[in-house]
Chain A
Amino acid sequence: MIASGTLARFQDDFAQALLATDAAASPALAAVKAQPAFAIYRNTVMKGCIDALQANYPAVTRLVGDEWLRAAAAVYARDALPARPMLLEYGADFADFLAQFNPAAELPYLPGVARLDRFWTEAHAAASEDTLAPAAVTPLASGNFFRARLQPHAATRWAWFADAPIYTIWSRNRSDAVFDGDIEWQPEGALLTRPGDSVQWCALDRAGCVFLDTCAAGGTLADAAQAALAVQPDADLGRLMARLLEAGVFSRLDPNT
């Protein structure tokens, strides 16, 4: 329950004044806003939001520089304060914001990179559960095998980027390391997992992304294999399965239902 008394009115006025860009404010707060110290609160609130976005989007920051990122973050924050106080979560739709943000129009790969930064955070904070060991799959006889369902681990994230080599751009900018060499402009997929509590990543082809989409939607291994071959007829499914299991992509195997 929110009260409608004096304290509530003060908080409505104060919260509005924190984000107002001009001198307009409730007359009741004019004497407060006129004090130079009011800027401390405005600055602290904005700095808290901007610092959080910068921390949550390190590869985007490295690509555009601190100054650009912080200016963009200020625009984002003024429209969308955190809905919850866990600032690790803040900016969940920053990729969508960047896709609509005019100054970013010349950097069409930026939203994709932001999406992978976000995947990293989600993988980092996801629930802890065991990953499915490769050995758990082998005992299945071939008949049962295709009726089984594989459940992706809570920390597993993947995406296919049809327009740009997002994975290469992101992975080269996720650390301070310097990479030489040109980037081949081609579609790419990315896979993030968290085996043993540390987030790992690798490239994933179109077949792999579609395979995981189908598993996540509750499809059987037969469904997943069919979908993967439909988009990439030459896909090596045996090798794909081995790679996914090795990366700790799954948490559970349901033999059949």
Chain B
Amino acid sequence: MTHFPDAGLGLKPRHYDAALACSTAGLWFEVHPENYMVAGGPRLAWLEAIRGRHPVSLHGVALSLAADAEPDAAHLKRLVELARRVEPVLISEHLAWSTWRGAYHPDLLPFPRTTQALVRISDNVSRTQDALQRRIAVENPSHYLKLDGHEWSETEFLQELAHRTGCGLLLDVNNVYVSACNMGYSAEDYLDAFPAEPVMEIHLAGHAPDPNLGEALLVDSHDAPVAAEVWVLYERLIRRIGARPTLIERDDNLPEFGVLLAERDRAANILRDPLAEAA
């Protein structure tokens, strides 16, 4: 393991003070840039204070890379400006769409993985990287629906996207677990097929059974600790591809900062010594 930040935490406003005071080595924080796209005021001041003490990553939810349209120029400009201000250690987005014909849908929406979509998304990723003047990481989303018309598996699609654009990938192991359960495939097979070299970051998070459908449908809810099954998949992945910056995501049902930090430490320990943790 180098001195590159190892394991980090998603940062919520409730934890600003604890995050600012924390001196854990290797700790870094991730935020959604959309929450900091303001003209000025305390939000930016908080983020800059955190940035003064810890590396920060920007994890976007609104570039809508998988929309059949170019990324919104004004939104891309806001992202460029925020990146200039924060100098993030990493910038990532999703293999999904959210903004469409001027309306923002606060979700990560699915699409058929066709070659046409690949061409469009490659173009969108390239435009984004050109604007930011840097490589971004693209994340595998959670799946709930069976869609007709896929021409590519997701792992091959992402590999080809990385090949065409030079982008990196963000591998969300919880999304893999949730999708594998919902769609009926093997999470191990998916992870084994995931291209190792472009992985710039890994996400771990909690999920929950759907309130109506129960265990038959898992929801990527980010409101619980990382599940035991996901930790097992994570350890197996790290043994195969080696250490990568890893983030614990938690958006709802927030515990105290120390509880999240303990989860983060568990990931950091696996990164440092994957074999020891597996024993």
Contacts and interface: CB of A to CB of B under 8 A. Distances in A.
B35 A88 contact: yes
Contact of B210 (A32, A40, A83, A87): A40
A41 B107 contact: yes
Interface string A129-152: 100000000000000000000000
B9 interface: no
Contact of B107 (A2, A48, A83): A48
A36 B212 contact: yes
A125 B106 contact: no
Given A11-B100, A45-B106, A83-B102, A197 B145 contact: no
Interface in A34-60: 35-41, 44-45, 47-49, 52
A32 B217 CA distance: 15
Contact of A194 (B41, B70, B99, B104): B41
Contact of B105 (A2, A15, A88, A194): A15
B155 to A, nearest CB: 20
Given A40-B144, A85-B61, A128-B41, A7 B106 contact: no
A6 to B, nearest CB: 6
B43 interface: yes
A227 B224 CA distance: 58
A197 B41 CA distance: 6
Nearest to B99: A85
B42 A5 contact: no
A44 B107 contact: yes
Which interface class (under 10, 10 to 19, 20 to 34, 35 or more) fits A? 35 or more
B114 A125 contact: no
B212 A39 contact: yes
A174 B147 CA distance: 46
A5 B62 contact: no
Interface string A10-44: 11101100100000000000011001111111001
B104 A83 contact: yes
A85 B98 contact: yes
B154 interface: no
A249 interface: no
Contact of A11 (B61, B67, B106, B116): B67
Contacts of A5: 68, 116
Contact of B217 (A6, A10, A37, A82): A37
Contacts of B212: 36, 39
Contact of A8 (B42, B68, B182): B68
B42 A7 contact: no
B145 A125 contact: no
B129 to A, nearest CB: 19
A83 B145 CA distance: 26
Contacts of B103: 15, 81-83
B69 A45 contact: no
A52 B212 CA distance: 24
B106 A44 contact: yes
B45 interface: yes
A88 B38 contact: yes
Interface in B8-42: 34-35, 37-42
B260 interface: no
A125 B44 CA distance: 9
8 contacts: A7-B116, A11-B67, A36-B212, A41-B107, A83-B104, A86-B37, A124-B41, A124-B43
Given A2-B69, A3-B69, 10 more contacts: A2-B68, A8-B69, A11-B67, A40-B217, A48-B106, A87-B35, A127-B40, A154-B40, A197-B45, A198-B42
Interface of B: 34-35, 37-45, 61-62, 67-70, 75, 97-107, 109-112, 114, 116-117, 120, 144-149, 182, 210, 212-213, 217, 219
